[in-house]
Structure 1
Amino acid sequence: MQNVSRFRLSLLAGATLFALSAMPALAQDQTATTTSAQADGNDQGGLGEIIVTAQRRETNLQQTPISISVLSTEALQDRHVQSLFNLADGTVPSLRVATFEARQSALTIGIRGIVPYDQNQTARDGGVSVYIDGVALGKTQGLNAALFDIERIEVLKGPQGTLFGRNTEGGALSMVTKAPTGEFGARMTAGIGNYGSRNADIHLDLPAFFNIALKFDGVYQHQDPTVKDPLAGSVGWNYYDRKGGRAAARWTPFEGLTADFSYDYAKDENTPQFSQLINYNPNNYTVGTYTPAGGTIGTTLYLPGTATACGGTITAAQAAAGRLPCVAPLAPAVGVHPERQKVADVGVPQQPSVDITHGFTSNLKYKVAPGLELRSITAWRGVSTDQWDNSGGPERSTYAPNANFSRYSLSFLKQHQFSQEFQAVGSFDQFDFVLGAYYFTEHATEYAATPLSNLWNADGTAYTIRSPIVTGTVTSANSGYQPYAASCVNTLAATVPQFTNSCQFITRASKAWDHNYSAFGNLTFSPEGTGLHFTAGGRFTKDKRHGALYVVNNAVQGFTFENSISRFDPMFNIAYDATQDVHLYAKYSTGFRAGGANDRSQSFNAFGPESVKSYEIGAKMDFFDHHARFNIAGYIMDRSNTQFDFDLFDTAATITLPNGTAVPNPTNGAHIEQTQNAGNTKIRGIEADLTVKPTAGLTLSASYAYTYWKAPSAVNPFTGGLPQQLYIVYTPKNAASGAIDYVLPLTIANGANLRLHLDANYASSQYSFQLEPTKTDPSFVVNGRIALADIKMNDSAQVTLSLWARNLFDNTYIYRRSNANSSPVYNYNGATLVSTNYGGILGDYANFNPPRTFGAEASVKF
């Protein structure tokens, strides 16, 4: 195996070096080139210039010596991208987007194999930061909100620890909105589609007055569920209803000073993707019966046709005595569905989760001299999420007569953040520089409950919905599925006033604070006449975080954590302009993901930061008189102290204390998760991009990403010290995308254009759980749009009519799959196997990609 690994690394390095040496056209990976042609569709010349701000200054993408992909307004429109989740089809091969668990209310975003598993908590972060107009968003909740008037999305690949700071070890996703123009202009769009979808947006620019320009944006997006819920009054799955508004002002009181202010507010109501059972008892264990021979139906499993008990929890002594394992039968009301379902077998309560995001930003730029600009970015932002996730139903829990089922995962999170950044950006002689200081603080609180919302009848042919009205003392058995009731007593009330009127069994409640201070700088030296550019940069960071887990399983606790680190992240870059159109570079950089604590550990298990070192070489080239670009980059990344999550669904009825006394297990039936710094991870990759504009109006583009990774094996704290292989999630070995764009001027149609777009996106199978060797399906998604654009109605108005389709061929694939319910659960006390539980064996469950959606739009601009 060691020789195989060395061969793979040698092959990777050799392929990259060969490409760089054999093809002078080589260039850095960037899907951005797919957008330049669209912006330049009617141009008789070549591919247009793309401007980015990845180095905190405006630069030409082809001359920026880092790996970037860019999606312009036109690219987002052609792909009908309404939220970041629409990028999950693989539009940018190195960028991976998926739901956290099944829910749409939080997204998992990764770049180059740095993909978080469970950062959806008060004291945890991801390894890829998302920015809006230069402001980092502290939490992944709310990331799937409707996009406002986006000018471009920049995907910065590889560690960005110098200029962007912590939690950018994989890269950064930076969204830039359109600024006020100071001239009157309006754009309005309305559309309808299948699954009851409808959308509308309006963008209004007002003429400047007293050097103040104003701009207003409004957006509305709706889609009915794609999987229906048989329960009357419930919403169904893969539903969303998004609305929001944004106001922006640009003040230019005198030459050199630009002051931008903006406020945005958005509300996103959504339901999770549906989790369905795709097989039953795949390991072919004996299927038991709840009725013993000659007896009546009960709750104990028996070997079919006998009175011999089997299955369930089998202790070591029972196993030695010959007790046989068997699994629960499949409830008659539940079916096995290897293909995407349209209607669930069993109805469960499912109401929309509600995400509210809001924020105010002040961005000041003052050009004090021709070679120096001072900047200030001040921002207050917040997000609140009321999560209602009942995606599993009976597909993730086994059947038992008269038993509760269907875990309703409820979470109520609030987060507020403040950030302040100062920058000095300038040039003198042969030097360019960026200097800055940054401060960030946030406060997050969350509490969660996981009641069971349904109740089987005696034979599994029917079910009832549990009453939301709780009387008496709140317990895990009677908590119902609604948050409040008129008559109940929660034992937390005496010490935690927050839950005085709560009729929920609170599984956890936590709060956390974070403070980050940093200073950074970048200096580029370009000796005149050499074509060389030497860049050195660094960032010093002080990161302090603390918090408390004050409720566990409806009991007051006092678990706290506190950690503080100081570190320095350097960056070195050597770039060479071989010709006017050929640019080569080599880069070394580091980055880190902050440490924190896991509130699902039931003790606020703390862990330290992870860090990455990256070595990258790349090149960029325009050739054939700017009618073609071929870009390539190769990188090696070594990640230290990798944060991995270990989890367990605890089925042990009792635990043994150190003195040998057996007591009831306080976490029986709970999901427990611990995070550890589990070891080192190796990630290697090649990214390539080709864009060709053979004739006026026609642009062909293709992008490819190869990612090799090797994760460590680590000791699982729940399996008595046994090592376990770990996996990186949502990282395919091979991913590719391609697009065809054609613009045909229609002289007979008063200056209109016929615009055709078709893109195809592929990813090989990948892991979706850190502890499971089960892989998802390969994916292949085609999107398309045809538009009659820019029809002149009069001297000031133009109309565009379009038809669009996402997943045009209705391809079905599994993007998230688990076999956790297909094998026994082993319960340990230290290194001793106490019991083996077969009662939870059901089968693999999965989430499928969204089905084909299509629609029509009409837009007008003045």
Structure 2
Amino acid sequence: MTKKNLLLSTCILSLGMFSAPAFAEEAQPAAEQGLGEIVVTAQRREQKLQDVPVAVTAFAQATIAQLRLNDAIQTSKFVPGMISQHNAGLASANAYYLRGLGNSQSTATFDAPVTTYVDDVYVARQNANNYAFFDTERVEVLRGPQGTLFGRNTTGGAINVIMKRPKDHFAATMEVTAGSYDRYTAKASVDMPISTSVLSKLSAFYVSDKGYLRSITTGEKLNGETSWGMRGDLRVLASSNLKLDMSAEFTRNASTYSGMRSVAGASPYVVNGATVPVFYETATGLYKTECTQNNVYTLQLLGKGNCNLSMNTALMFKGAYDLGNGSIEYIAGYRHLNQGYINQYDANTTNPYAAYILVDNGTNDQWSQEVKYNTSLFDNRLHLTAGLFYLQEISNDRQTTFNGGTTAFRAIQDSIYRFKAETAAGYAQGDVKVTDALTVTLGGRFTWEKKTLHFTPSSQFAGLGYSDATVLGYGIPLAQSINKFTPRFAVSYKVDPDVMLFASATNGFKSGGWNGTAAVASSAVTFRPEKTWSYEAGVKSEFFNHKLRVNITGYIARTQDLQATAAVISPVTGVTASLPFNAGTQVVKGVEIETSAKLGDFTLFANPSFMQAKYTYITPATTALTTALSPVRTPTFQFSGGVAYEKAVDALKGTIGANVAWRHNSPYWVAVLNTTHTLTEDYVDMGVTYRTADDKISIGFDVSNLTKQKTITANFLSLFPGDPQRFTARLKLKI
């Protein structure tokens, strides 16, 4: 054993090597083989993960299956530096926080710092970004600003979901599950080639879950869902050089996500709190119903609510032409979102008329187009990626608030707006191979963006809502635009074929916006874009004939004009109010370690990470946020690790498998003003499977949250719970 291998093995053992299927393992290798090769598109072209000077966590198909990752939010459990949650009241909306940058707003006038892509098509709205994995090939989570190559400029990162393409032969798979809280799921996919050059695929999923939160007032179950979706894919191999991919998709999610009731006592979660949450119980007196296209009338006529309905329609076209020394791609996408909800947020209010209830109906339409060019020049000494991107989105939304009634619902707010955003960008990145070992990367993106906002007074509730003229009368503009150049610099050096050192400096920004659902015109204030510079350095390495993989990244991210919502002195009225504003400067430092190993029939991973986050400057406008407080969702220490075992047993005519995964978070704040925090979190997931030798039948049983870890995800008039313990049985068939 070389000194280098001995040193690395000692370091990894000292970290405590837990395990599970190594992230992004392409297939289950034989016991004597090493880790599978990982191919990612983190730089918008196919590359080996170990050759990319980017902090990225990838989940391949086998990993998604073994870790039971059913939707986008579940991937965050295993990504260093990442904390995710459902938005308070909205189970279809995910708030992702990466390296301390995130956003819990699901209003169209706020953009997310961590964005979602499906097949390279940007998903504009956070309202329904909890993408269901029902026919997924790979998921990549990019950590840090994406200011160069990806569709929308961001400060925190990006989640890229890559769906499976049709096969050139007939194949079918089906999986059904049954588990706790009457949760039943079904997934099916059928590949049906029409000819040797025209391939097709149909996929579908269904989820029914009665929910784990019980209302002691109505006796109903909440925090469940009924969801389904369908997707069709068509691949046309028009010639040896031209490949066309098309897809159409529809998903429907009906769900609830309510907070917990509380009783008198000293809360361990709330600073100076006088009440303690009762986990998995609520006292809400609002009965459930089905959301409609006019939820204000639904609430008033039926006296019911506690519903959320989101319907997504998506179309995608991608044409790729092979140029011999490169390729050119055209990517077009259209997405339509129709969403409405009725949520009671104060979980102790048994009289629904007196409760604080938000009612919303909104639509969003987005169109995007992109032309991307990849080529290698000068005997592969230069690789160039360049392109043009355009996006337009239009949102129409109405949000009505009811509170303080006795025998009838009393409206106190009725905000109606129409929002439009247009953005265009040109980008280019060159990877210059200075020597066989040294590569220098230079890239940049120029972004043009324009946003407009229009308000309409309420026609139903006299005196509520407001017009454009009223907003303009307060000196608040209804149009914003920005021209911004964001560069990237990186250098990588191959110490040997299996060890690469890298360093980078990347700039990104997140758009400005408005407080679009303000109750009064004077609060419809604007906020500027936030800007981040991230500096990273690290190593990507493999040892012992690719049986051990160690990737380490250290970073410093400095964000200026950080967007936050807190108590500030209104720039319009001079009165203190809770408003979005540019809070100041946030600096986050950290080290992220991702390790995996193949030891005979065992596959292991261990991912510890350390993070230090602080505000170094707060704008004088705030009356509550100070540099003495800490940024939200930034645990000092995180760890995810696990082990997977798989062994062919002749006597059983198949393969048995078992896996266990552990994830740990040190306590972190979930409220901007540091009034609410989590406790130490420790989750354990376990599973066992049996698969026939021909891989046509597999059965399994697993448990998530074995430790019955209780946690909270947000505090908005009530504390919102994390998922409880669940048991699930599975059956999967292949043809």
TM over 0.5: yes
On the 8 A contact 2:548/2:595 being kept in 1, the answer is yes
On the 8 A contact 1:239/1:270 being kept in 2, the answer is yes
In the TM superposition, what is the alpha-carbon distance from 1:354 to its structure 2 partner? 0.2
* Equivalences for residues 248-259 of structure 1 within 5 A: 248-259=233-244
Per-residue Cα deviation, 1:333-352 (whole angstroms, up to 9, x for no partner): xxx65441346475654432
Matched, 1:607 2:520: no
Matched, 1:680 2:585: yes
Q: Distance in 2 between matches of 1:62 and 1:282?
A: 46
If the length of structure 1 is used for normalisation, what is the TM-score?
0.75
* Equivalences for residues 517-532 of structure 1 within 5 A: 517-528=424-435, 530-532=436-438
- Structure 1's 722 and 246: CA in aligned 2 closer, same or farther, altered over 3 A? closer
Counterpart residue number, 1:164: 150
Matched, 1:787 2:689: yes
Q: Percent identity?
A: 23
On the 8 A contact 1:122/1:511 being kept in 2, the answer is no
Residue aligned with 2:545, SS: coil
- Structure 1's 133 and 224: CA in aligned 2 closer, same or farther, altered over 3 A? same
Counterpart residue number, 1:595: 512
Residue aligned with 2:584, SS: coil
Q: Give the letter aligned to residue 731 of structure 2.
A: A
Q: Distance in 1 between matches of 2:312 and 2:142?
A: 24
Counterpart residue number, 1:514: 421
Q: Which has the larger radius of gyration?
A: 1
- Structure 1's 741 and 185: CA in aligned 2 closer, same or farther, altered over 3 A? same
* Equivalences for residues 214-229 of structure 1 within 5 A: 214-229=200-215
Q: Distance in 1 between matches of 2:369 and 2:161?
A: 18
If the length of structure 2 is used for normalisation, what is the TM-score?
0.87
Per-residue Cα deviation, 1:273-316 (whole angstroms, up to 9, x for no partner): 32332645889xxxxxxxxxxxxxxxxxxxxxxxxxxxxxxxxx
Matched, 1:115 2:102: yes
Residue aligned with 1:769, SS: coil
Q: Distance in 2 between matches of 1:167 and 1:726?
A: 28
On the 8 A contact 2:344/2:358 being kept in 1, the answer is yes
In the TM superposition, what is the alpha-carbon distance from 1:710 to its structure 2 partner? 1.0
Matched, 1:563 2:550: no
Q: Give the letter aligned to residue 433 of structure 1.
A: L
Counterpart residue number, 1:582: 499
Q: Give the letter aligned to residue 149 of structure 1.
A: D
Per-residue Cα deviation, 1:332-379 (whole angstroms, up to 9, x for no partner): xxxx654413464756544321011111000110012x2120100001
Match of 2:325 among 371, 377, 380: 371
* Equivalences for residues 409-808 of structure 1 within 5 A: 409-428=358-377, 429=379, 430-452=381-403, 455=406, 466=407, 478-479=409-410, 506-528=413-435, 530-551=436-457, 554-558=464-468, 559=471, 561-601=478-518, 602-603=520-521, 604-647=524-567, 673-695=578-600, 697-712=601-616, 714=618, 719=623, 727-750=630-653, 752-792=654-694, 798-808=696-706
Per-residue Cα deviation, 1:409-466 (whole angstroms, up to 9, x for no partner): 11112110000000111112111110100001100111111224874xxxxxxxxxx4
Per-residue Cα deviation, 1:609-646 (whole angstroms, up to 9, x for no partner): 11111111011111011111111010111111111212
Q: Give the letter aligned to residue 171 of structure 2.
A: G
Q: Distance in 1 between matches of 2:593 and 2:209?
A: 35
Q: Distance in 2 between matches of 1:523 and 1:243?
A: 42
Counterpart residue number, 1:293: none
Matched, 1:92 2:83: no
Residue aligned with 2:181, SS: coil
On the 8 A contact 1:185/1:204 being kept in 2, the answer is yes
Match of 1:859 among 714, 727, 732: 732
In the TM superposition, what is the alpha-carbon distance from 1:210 to its structure 2 partner? 6.0
- Structure 1's 269 and 45: CA in aligned 2 closer, same or farther, altered over 3 A? same
Q: Give the letter aligned to residue 602 of structure 2.
A: L
Q: Give the letter aligned to residue 119 of structure 2.
A: D
On the 8 A contact 1:571/1:588 being kept in 2, the answer is yes
Matched, 1:264 2:219: no
On the 8 A contact 1:521/1:539 being kept in 2, the answer is yes
Match of 1:48 among 36, 52, 62: 36
In the TM superposition, what is the alpha-carbon distance from 1:747 to its structure 2 partner? 1.6
Counterpart residue number, 1:389: 343
Note the residue ranges of structure 1 that are not aligned, 5 or more in a row: 1-18, 284-326, 331-335, 456-465, 468-477, 480-503, 651-656, 659-666, 822-844
On the 8 A contact 2:510/2:529 being kept in 1, the answer is yes
Counterpart residue number, 1:151: 137
Which range moved further: 763-772 or 33-42? 33-42
Q: Distance in 1 between matches of 2:625 and 2:38?
A: 52
Counterpart residue number, 1:10: none
- Structure 1's 278 and 711: CA in aligned 2 closer, same or farther, altered over 3 A? farther
On the 8 A contact 1:506/1:551 being kept in 2, the answer is no
Structure with larger RCO (C-alpha < 8 A, sep 6+): 1
Residue aligned with 1:34, SS: coil
On the 8 A contact 1:712/1:725 being kept in 2, the answer is no
Q: Distance in 2 between matches of 1:155 and 1:403?
A: 41
Which range moved further: 436-445 or 235-244? 235-244
In the TM superposition, what is the alpha-carbon distance from 1:159 to its structure 2 partner? 1.3
Match of 2:354 among 402, 405, 417: 405
Which range moved further: 442-451 or 722-731? 722-731
Counterpart residue number, 1:351: 306
- Structure 1's 136 and 25: CA in aligned 2 closer, same or farther, altered over 3 A? farther
In the TM superposition, what is the alpha-carbon distance from 1:764 to its structure 2 partner? 1.1
Q: Give the letter aligned to residue 83 of structure 2.
A: R
Alpha carbon RMSD of aligned pairs, Å? Answer: 3.1
- Structure 1's 32 and 568: CA in aligned 2 closer, same or farther, altered over 3 A? farther
Counterpart residue number, 2:192: 206
Q: Distance in 2 between matches of 1:272 and 1:860?
A: 33
Q: Give the letter aligned to residue 789 of structure 1.
A: R
Q: Give the letter aligned to residue 706 of structure 1.
A: F
On the 8 A contact 1:166/1:592 being kept in 2, the answer is no
* Equivalences for residues 267-306 of structure 1 within 5 A: 267-277=252-262, 279=264
Q: Distance in 2 between matches of 1:543 and 1:635?
A: 29
Q: Distance in 2 between matches of 1:413 and 1:581?
A: 51
In the TM superposition, what is the alpha-carbon distance from 1:145 to its structure 2 partner? 4.5
- Structure 1's 345 and 375: CA in aligned 2 closer, same or farther, altered over 3 A? closer
Q: Distance in 1 between matches of 2:403 and 2:125?
A: 28
Which range moved further: 223-232 or 540-549? 223-232
Residue aligned with 2:720, SS: strand
Per-residue Cα deviation, 1:27-69 (whole angstroms, up to 9, x for no partner): 9xxx998235582243421111000011111111111111110
Which range moved further: 619-628 or 782-791? 782-791
Higher strand share: 2
Q: Distance in 2 between matches of 1:46 and 1:722?
A: 50
In the TM superposition, what is the alpha-carbon distance from 1:82 to its structure 2 partner? 1.8
Q: Distance in 2 between matches of 1:536 and 1:405?
A: 59
- Structure 1's 25 and 677: CA in aligned 2 closer, same or farther, altered over 3 A? farther
Which range moved further: 680-689 or 723-732? 723-732
In the TM superposition, what is the alpha-carbon distance from 1:718 to its structure 2 partner? 7.6
Q: Distance in 2 between matches of 1:854 and 1:107?
A: 24
Q: Number of paired residues?
A: 689
Per-residue Cα deviation, 1:752-797 (whole angstroms, up to 9, x for no partner): 21111110111111111212343222211111221101354xxxx7
